[in-house]
Amino acid sequence: MSIFEDKAILVTGGTGSFGKRFIHTLLNRYPDVRRIVVFSRDELKQFEMQQEFSPAELKKMRFFLGDVRDKERLSRAFEGIDMVVHAAALKQVPAAEYNPSEFIKTNIMGAENVIAAAFDAQITRVVALSTDKAAAPINLYGATKLCSDKLFIAANNVRGKRPIRFSVVRYGNVMGSRGSVIPFFLNIRQKGKMPVTDATMTRFNISLDEGVDMVLFGLEHQWGGELYVPKIPSYRILDVAKAIAPSIEPEIIGIRPGEKIHEEMITEADSFSTYDMGPYYAILPQVPNFNLEDFVGHFKAKKVEQGFRYSSGNNTEWLSVEDIRALICQHIDPEFKPL
């Protein structure tokens, strides 16, 4: 019996790339789920999503218009819900530098509203999505997501006797997601351009399906307070350009405001509380709300070495040009051909 049997699950930001793939996977893999609620603020995206996930045909589907900034609306949406996946966020780094207060309202205050509404609604499991930019952040987007991460982890300290658990998943660039580099390169190559911010830049890479699997793992196995990080490969931005348009000479344009050369998901300071769980790392609270020895024994987890850091620049697994092309065909465009 799965933990999703006869359960109601709500996804904030459910009309996004992750939300749609998560719901598709949930319906296929766990047909015994009782209800799935899409919570988002864009009525057009909800209308378009209903063409694929029709409530008339899929009786368990619900669509709920609302903004995570509105606690009262969240509380109404959370009625009768058992589990929440919090994927709603403002995400564009340059936009955050120019509109900081908007990102604070959605990414920080919105997270606080989700936590408060979850407590009031007697929800049992919450998993929030984070980003590699939340580790040692240098831009406002990363800083707001780090605050969000801290809020969800700390929520376990005040749950009292409630059976609720809060955890976070943190991963890097999602291949093919809206606004990411590969779709951008695929579009702009038609103009004979290939702008690259920095020749030495690297990034982590994860597919939507891997991100979905990680969130499902968090929901199924969370003890409350874990920040999960996947073991995923890196790519060099010049290799991405070469994989997509080898005939176009890249133009180095300089990094954008708030951008890093390499992304981190686990900092050296995190190494004191990071454990290797096999396919994932888990950054645990410095004072967990569970018995650490029991956790280590249950998952056969091993503490990482002091000073360990997980960066896209010092990764041990790299995608080649051929690997990138194969992944584009698999996850973005089956008809893809290098230009």
Q: Is residue 99 part of a domain?
A: yes
Q: How far apart are CA 51 and CA 66, in angstroms?
A: 20
* Own/partner long-range contacts of 183-187 (Cβ < 8 Å, ≥24 apart): 183/332, 185/240, 185/241, 185/244, 185/245, 186/244, 186/328, 186/332, 186/333, 186/336
Tally of domains in the chain: 1
Burial annotation 39-57 (CB, 10 A radius, 16+ → b, else e)? bbbeeebbeebbeebeeee
Q: How far apart are CA 213 and CA 144, in angstroms?
A: 25
Q: With beta carbons less than 8 A apart as the criterion, state whether 274 and 308 touch.
A: yes
Of 45, 91, 133, 242, the catalytic one is: 133
Nearest to 208 by CA among 182, 227, 184: 182
Q: Is residue 2 part of a domain?
A: no
Maximum Cα interatomic distance, the chain, rounded to a whole number of Å: 62
133 is catalytic: yes
Q: How far apart are CA 268 and CA 274, in angstroms?
A: 10
Q: Is residue 336 part of a domain?
A: no
Could you list the beta-strand ranges (E) of the chain.
8-12, 35-40, 61-65, 83-86, 125-129, 165-169, 173-174, 195-196, 202-206, 227-230, 234-236, 251-252, 264-266, 274-276, 280-283, 302-303, 310-311
Q: Is residue 307 part of a domain?
A: yes
Write out pLDDT tens, residues 178-213: 767 888 888 888 888 889 989 999 999 999 999 999
pTM of the complete model: 0.92
Q: Is residue 196 part of a domain?
A: yes
Confidence class of residue 315 from pLDDT cuts 50, 70 and 90? very high
Write out pLDDT tens, residues 246-278: 999 998 998 877 788 999 999 999 999 999 999
Q: Is residue 107 part of a domain?
A: yes
Q: Is residue 337 part of a domain?
A: no
Write out pLDDT tens, residues 209-249: 999 999 999 999 999 999 999 999 999 999 999 999 999 99
**Residue 272 belongs to what domain range?**
8-331
CATH at 285: 3.40.50.720
